[in-house]
Chains A and B, each alone.
Chain A
Amino acid sequence: MKNPKSDSRILAAAIVLCLVGSIAVVALAAQADQVIKITAKRFEYSPNEIRLKKGVPAVLEFTSLDRLHGFSCPDFGIRTDIVPGKVNIVRFIPDKAGTFAFHCDIFCGDGHEDMAGKFIVED
């Protein structure tokens, strides 16, 4: 015959384990994300040289300090408008090592051609 007290203890233990497990997964995920805050203004990004770990998800948070800019990194197939007054987010996984250029792809004035940067993705 089953012991009801024993069953409820097992259930409680399982719930605790699940909770602990979930918290651990969330914590690991948060730790794994590479969050980079980037400001854009005529005609530069700051920072404009960004080191990333290969295979680790990256979250780019762009803020414009003046006007509409763009961000494009063709090697990773990512882009966004950088609209003033909001945080513009790009998520991607840098799945290859090396140096990859990014640039502003919305013409923003004399100096637009200089508005560029690079990712350095390391193994």
Chain B
Amino acid sequence: MKSGIDRREFLKLAGVGGVVFASGLSGFAHAAEKKTVPEDFFFVQMSDTHWGFKDEKANADWSGTLKKAVASVNGLETPPDFIMFTGDLSHTTEDPKERRKRLGEFRGIIGDLKAKTVRFMPGEHDASLDNGDAFKELFGATHYTFDHKGVHFIVLDNVSDPSASIGESQLQWLGDDLKTRDKDAMIVVLTHRPLFDLYPQWDWATRDGAKAVDLLMPYRHVTVFYGHIHQEHHQMTGHIPHHAAKGLMFPLPAPGSAPKRAPVPWDPAQPYKGLGFREVGTRIEKTEYRITEYPVTRG
């Protein structure tokens, strides 16, 4: 097993194959001095796999892309501590049986992932037509928390309500959870839609997302990772960074750059362009997160 130092070196070197984005966590070093510094780790974010989408104009390899991504994650030099899927596991269907079939097929494919722990949340394609019923049957809760090596993770559901709302009940739950946290705690929020108004004209927003951001604002080291927009995107709300991930079925245009939010056509000259997954590593001593973007296939 690699040591913590080796793992950090790995994270640094991994930047060669993709984009590295450093997110400052100023102030955490002071807090860390007083305590035992937790071991660094990394996790993988995979998003918007849209299993059941079959338009070859947008993805000529719709049946193989997810399998290739699974192989690429399995090929990482060091296995991640866990993998997080940030929603739209399946492409929507109005047929409840077909929805369960698609979610089941997705689960079968990602069952080949070697990581010990794989976590899920729904996207609107999985959950908005049945308020998350099928998702819950196959994957469990749509919002929850977990802790890993000193980091508190909060999974927020902003899709089971078809109006793209978190809802008062879940906001109350979020507030109650945060009340038990130190203001210097490292907190990662995982969600599907952007919590801020990225581009409301394309429905790239959460109707009551500002309420969640307000609840998070007093905490000094919060970072949000989300999906939904099928492209890498980084934005700050105050001191809170929000990082959108690429999808694994089709890319979407940059916000407002096209008349419609339609899939970017497949380019045979550059297959899988705009698709991929990311690795997120903690560097607690350096008060940083490292984000490394990977393509679907790693040749």
Contact = CB atoms under 8 A, between A and B. Distances in A.
A43 B233 CA distance: 28
Interface string B200-211: 111100010000
Nearest to B162: A107
Contacts, number: 44
B94 A109 contact: yes
Interface in B196-244: 197, 200-203, 207
Interface string A53-81: 00000000000000010101011000001
Interface string B147-164: 000000000000100111
B163 A110 contact: no
Nearest to B91: A110
Contacts of B91: 110
A105 B203 contact: yes
- Mostly, the B contact residues are loop
A103 B93 contact: no
Contacts of B200: 72, 74
Contact of B202 (A103, A106, A110): A103
Contact of B162 (A74, A103, A106): A106
A108 B124 CA distance: 10
Contacts of A116: 260
Given A72-B200, A110-B92, A110-B93, A105 B261 contact: no
A106 B94 contact: no
User: B interface, how many residues as a size bin?
Assistant: 20 to 34
A18 to B, nearest CB: 46
A122 interface: no
A114 interface: yes
Given A105-B164, A107-B129, A107-B162, A113 B261 contact: yes
Interface string B119-140: 0000010001100000000000
A101 interface: yes
Interface string A77-114: 00001000000000000000000010111111110111
A103 B203 CA distance: 8
Contacts of A113: 203, 260-262
Among A68, A74, A101, A107: residue with most chain B CB under 10 A: A107
A107 B128 contact: yes
A16 to B, nearest CB: 52
A97 B201 CA distance: 17
A110 B260 CA distance: 15
B173 to A, nearest CB: 22
Given A70-B163, A113-B262, A114-B260, A107 B201 contact: no
B201 A75 contact: yes
Sorted nearest first, the 8 A-B pairs with minimum C-beta distance are A107-B128, A74-B200, A107-B162, A107-B124, A101-B201, A110-B92, A106-B162, A106-B163
29 contacts: A70-B163, A72-B200, A72-B203, A74-B197, A74-B200, A74-B201, A75-B201, A81-B163, A105-B163, A105-B203, A105-B207, A106-B162, A107-B92, A107-B124, A107-B128, A107-B159, A107-B162, A108-B162, A109-B92, A109-B94, A109-B129, A110-B92, A110-B94, A112-B92, A113-B203, A113-B260, A114-B260, A114-B262, A116-B260
Interface of B: 91-94, 124, 128-129, 159, 162-164, 197, 200-203, 207, 260-262
